[in-house]
Structure 1
Amino acid sequence: MIWQISILILYTISLIIIFIFSVGQAYLIFSYLRAKKKTDVIPVMPPKIPIVTIQLPLYNELYVVERLINAVCNLNYPSHKLEIQVLDDSDDQSLIQTEGIINKMKTLGYDILHIKREKNIGFKAGALQHGIKSAKGEFIAIFDADFLPEADFLQKLIPYFNATQIGMVQSRWGHINQDYSLLTKIQGFGLDGHFTVEQTGRNKANLFMNFNGTAGIWRKECIIDAGGWQHDTLTEDLDLSYRAQLKGWEFIYVENVVTPAELPVESNALRSQQHRWTKGAIETSKKMIKEIWKADVGLKKKIFGTLHLMNSYVFIFVFITSILSVPVLIIKNNHDINPIYFDMMTFFLLGFVIVTIFYIVATSSKKESIKTFAKLYPMFLSVSMALSFHNSVAVLEGLFGFKSDFIRTPKFNITNLDQNFEQNIYIKRALPKAFFAEFFLVLYFALGLFFAFYYKDFALLPFHLMLFTGFSILTFYSFKHSVVR
């Protein structure tokens, strides 16, 4: 009986921790809805237009570099007030291509520099810090290679810096290829939750928020004052965000300015992105949580900052809950456990209700129909829970200090359904390391479905069905993309 009780205790603890984080999300929903009732005052461009340096960190971006540079050069901003730094750490044929594009733009009168470092130290953070040293701009706008800023991007965001304490202004990410596949639809659905309810909720409640690594503008003085870009974590953007805000700088999130970007269309690209974001968040939490609690910022800000930085730990508890749910079903139907325990467990369905409301609000903010929500939410939830295994590995690597390189997310220049990426040289045509483990989990949760009918106990059937579906989707795309030719 000891092992049964141990399983139930661990299962309960995991549910409690997940619930605590969902309560944090509930507050962000409240903050977001309260903010939407108010009318924001849109600032105007200052009389003296400031110099802006645009930084474009590149690493082997053969397929998207031209469209990126063209988009930046088409920004509606006085050319004599605009400097473009192409921070190119590439080591493939894209170097020559980029050089040609830059030379062409120079002849058209653009102040554009091709900056190449001798050693790629610090990856993206190292490149950004290297560029800061020679940047002429009072403000630094950053765009990753998969982004396509609208022409009025600077005109809309620079005015928010009229207040001297504003250190960073972040725009909302859009998606130029969300309808390409189920994989991209799910990604876009999840990101929209972050870029509506979460970012706006944090910002309007005066909580810590983060620069999202791209599609935002920094005051150069803020970057320098906060200690510059550092590369001791894989999420240099999250790290600098907290260091800057602890220095007293304020951030603004502008939800109604959308910067379109390309979502990863290939499963390995998605996995590498998820791994970097998850592991980097853990590394940043280890670095910054102590600093948050030492700072004089108020208890609420400390609590929500901690929840924000530790949010990736949820993946471990989602995975533990998932794995234990099958033996819990068996224990329930084979051992004399007081039914009150299982009745009490239904309380944690409230956490699921909160998450559902979170994404309903996010979907409605984009004026999407309830039909769209009904189609995408179950698939999103299924894949998110299935990714808990992959992301749990990243959490443990970050927690125990396992160092790894900054693995870039390959770009494909895929924007419509007629395109494919069969000839893309950056594709890893191999099964991911987790493939066989995830395929085993497909069978494992199929067993959970079997036990539901065997015991005629369907309480966990929806949960097991989503897990079975999520792991099936991951294994399908892993296999499909590994044999692309």
Structure 2
Amino acid sequence: MTVELVEMECQRWKNNGVKIHYRSRDNRKGYKAGALEQGMRHDSVQGCDYVAMFDADFQPESDFLMRTVPFLVHNPDIALVQARWKFVLFPNEEEESEDLCRAVNADECLMTRIQEMSLDYHFKIEQEAGSSTCAFFGFNGTAGIWRISAITEAGGWKDRTTVEDMDLAVRASLRGWKFIYVGDIKVKNELPSTFKAYRYQQHRWSCGPANLFKKMAMEIIRNEKVSMWKKFHVIYSFFFVGKIVAHTVTFVFYCVIIPVSVLVPEVDIPQWGVVYVPTIITLLKAFGTPSSFHLLILWVLFENVMSFHRIKAAITGLLEAARVNEWVVTEKLGDAHKTKPALKMEDSKKLRDAQETKPLIDKPKKHRPRFWHRFYFSELGLGVFLLLCGYYDLANEGQGYFVYLFLQGLAFLIIGFGYVGIHVPGS
């Protein structure tokens, strides 16, 4: 239905004299990278200098190009202008129409609030720091505008990993191109509100960078066009620490070392390691979303659970295991689980005609899932283990870790049973 609506909307603008084209393809070869590569070969793109990219749920403002293109026009060394993702309305936008606000869903459930905290830290701190210090930072895959000559010089889109955006950004950076992040330009979009969709997204976001790191490490080291400092920054700071070590340290410390210190009294964790440093890091990460500061403890518990999933995905990418190139489109619910948008009479007729036309690709048949398919047994197992460690610490009057272990164990169990996010019957 979405495809037909997009095509109808493009046709409406074309009838009003706007130069607009609707393009699609009849296969999924190369996934998003393949679609982008094919899209760049269309005649309508030839002769263009820049290309703006948005995922289907993103809603750029009408002045997006007016605010981004000048950076590229007046700075020939800049290849990419990255805008900020936005998930909640700001005070001066409360009067906007319901249609424009449909995809902004940070307040939909607790899981979307937690996602907002993590992504706000990424944009407000990580991307802002990378841009302001002229250091490397990755392309977020959407809500950005590229210089086409930079894409061509870097070798175009490649489907060797599931992070084609990061792949292109690294290759362009190694050829001397610069990027800029503009946090004042915000693009509304929707967060995944089902745990299944979020889990698939995080697998791709963790597995892809680890796999790209394995494939590009030697290419980065051998590159003669960039300084040793930049090589060190990309390999060590961006890839190794940011995409692999961060997940590993979080999971090992919170879910392995602390429980082991309860079972083995000889393992002693200094107070600065168990209290001061984690607290400071947590407060700094929560700085990007002060309105959700009261959710800080829940955010930590949820992120600890997800670190287990992310480290598995990172290992999959490093070892190039079976799911290394798994690409599952992140499901966004929009208003599908609430109310269906009303259509004008002529649009409704066009939509019925489009639905009667045989699609290029047959939709896969949906099988009714068993009730246990929503369970995540690895998370359940870890939850039971942490609860047992908590009871052991309490019974033996240990170091008082039982409070944390009970909370973290419950978090694993709640997520393991699928009681997080929006539940859609039959999914």
Question: TM-score under structure 1 normalisation?
Answer: 0.71
1:234 matched to which residue of 2? 162
Map 1:163-312 to 2 at 5 A: 163-175=75-87, 176-295=104-223, 296-306=225-235, 307-310=237-240, 311-312=242-243
Greater displacement, 472-481 / 152-161: 472-481
Counterpart of 1:379 (choices 298, 301, 309) is: 298
C-alpha contact 2:302 2:411 (8 A) present in aligned 1: yes
Cα shift readout 1:284-307 (whole Å, capped 9, x = no counterpart): 111222233333534443333222
Q: What is the match of residue 362 of structure 1? A: 288
Measured in 2, the distance between the counterparts of 1:426 and 1:353 equals 45
- In the other structure, the counterpart of 1:83 is none
Distance in structure 2 (CA, Å) of the matches to 1:484 and 1:129: 37
Deviations 1:325-382 (A, max 9, x none): 32321111xxxx3xxx62547446454134224224323xxxx35xx31x22211111
> Structure 1 residue 468 and structure 2 residue 376: aligned?
no
User: Which amino acid letter does the alignment assign opposite residue 261 of structure 1?
Assistant: N
Following superposition of structure 1 onto structure 2, how do residues 360-439 of structure 1 map, counting pairs within 5 Å? 360-363=286-289, 368-369=290-291, 372-373=292-293, 375-402=294-321, 403-414=324-335, 419=338, 435-439=376-380
| Residues 111-120 or 460-469, more deviating | 460-469
What amino acid sits opposite 2:158 in the alignment?
Answer: Q
- Match of 1:329? 262
Which whole-Å CA distance do the structure 1 matches of 2:368 and 2:60 have between them?
28
Residues 240 and 348 of structure 1, relative CA distance in 2, 3 Å threshold: farther
In structure 2, give the amino acid aligned to 1:386.
Answer: V
Indicate how the Cα distance of structure 1 residues 289 and 377 shifts in structure 2: closer, same or farther if over 3 A, else same. Answer: farther
Per-residue CA shift, 1:81-125, capped at 9, x if unaligned? Answer: xxxxxxxxxxxxx4x444333322321223222223243210110
Task: Determine if the alignment matches structure 1 residue 116 to structure 2 residue 48.
Answer: no
Equivalent position of 2:390 in the other structure? 449
Partners of 1:132 and 1:357 lie apart in 2 by 43
CA apart distance, 1:217: 0.4
**What residue in structure 2 maps to residue 477 of structure 1?**
418
SS of match in other structure, 1:115: coil
Cα deviation for residue 464 of structure 1 reads: 2.1
With over 3 angstroms needed to count, the CA separation of the structure-2 counterparts of 1:297 and 1:351, relative to structure 1, is farther
For the Cα contact (< 8 Å) 1:382–1:469, is it kept in 2?
A: no
Following the alignment from structure 1 to structure 2, what is the Cα–Cα distance between the partners of residues 100 and 428?
32
Letter in 2 for 1:392: I
Corresponding residue pairs, total: 374
Alignment match of 2:279 (pick from 337, 347, 353): 353
- Quote how far apart the aligned CAs of 1:225 are: 0.5
Q: Is the 8 A contact 2:197 2:330 kept in 1?
A: yes
Structure 1: runs of 5 or more not aligned: 1-61, 66-93
1:249 Cα shift? Answer: 0.3
Q: Please point out which of 40, 46, 59 is paired with 1:148.
A: 59
Aligned pair partner of 2:69 in 149, 154, 158: 158
Name the residue aligned to 1:78. none
Q: Check 1:172–1:479 CA distance in 2 against 1; reply closer, same or farther (3 A cut).
A: closer
> Structure 2: which amino acid aligns with 1:441?
L
Give the deviation of 1:172 after TM superposition.
0.6
Partner of 1:10: none
Over aligned residues, Cα RMSD in angstroms?
A: 2.7
Q: Measure the CA separation in 2 of the matches of 1:121 and 1:200.
A: 34
CA contact (8 A) 2:195 2:422 kept: yes
Cα distance in 2 for partners of 1:288, 1:428 equals 41
Check the 8 A contact 1:262/1:413 in 2, yes or no: yes
C-alpha separation in 1, matches of 2:150 and 2:227: 22
The one-letter amino acid of 1:342's match is D
Per-residue Cα deviation, 1:441-467 (whole angstroms, up to 9, x for no partner): 222211122122112223534542442
Unaligned stretches of 5+ in structure 2?
88-103, 341-364
